[in-house]
Amino acid sequence: MGIVVKVKSANRRKDELRAGLIHLVECCPVEGCNPVDCPLYQVRQLQHAPRLKWFNALTQDDLNYFAAYHYTCANLKLAEMSVEEAAFPR
C-alpha cells in the first residue's frame, strides 16, 4: 500500500511554502541583516527582480531545504540570544 499525493494538495503546499519563505530572500528574520554564513547571502545582494526570478525557480526540494535550514538556524540563534541575555541581563 503506497501513499497517494493529490496534485492539488502538493501544489497548494508548495505555494504555501513559497509564501512562507519569500521573506528569507530579503534578510535574516532573526538578525534583520544578511549574515555572510547564510546560504542566501549572495542571493540577497541581487536586485529585486533577479532575486525574485531566482526564488521562483526553486524546486520543492530547494524550498524544503531552505525551510529546514532556516528553521534550525533561527532556533539556534534565538537560543544563543536567550543564553546571552540570561548571562548579561540589562
Three-state secondary structure readout of 22-51: HHHHCCCCCCCCCCCCCCCHHHHCCCHHHH
Domain count, the chain: 1
Compute the C-alpha angle 55/50/13, nearest 5°: 15
From the list 33, 31, 28, 36, the residue with the least C-alpha distance to 66 is: 28
Structural domain contains residue 90: no
pLDDT at residue 13, rounded to an integer: 79
User: Which residues form the domain of 74?
Assistant: 7-85
- pTM for this one? 0.73
The band of 90, judged by pLDDT with boundaries at 50, 70 and 90, is: low
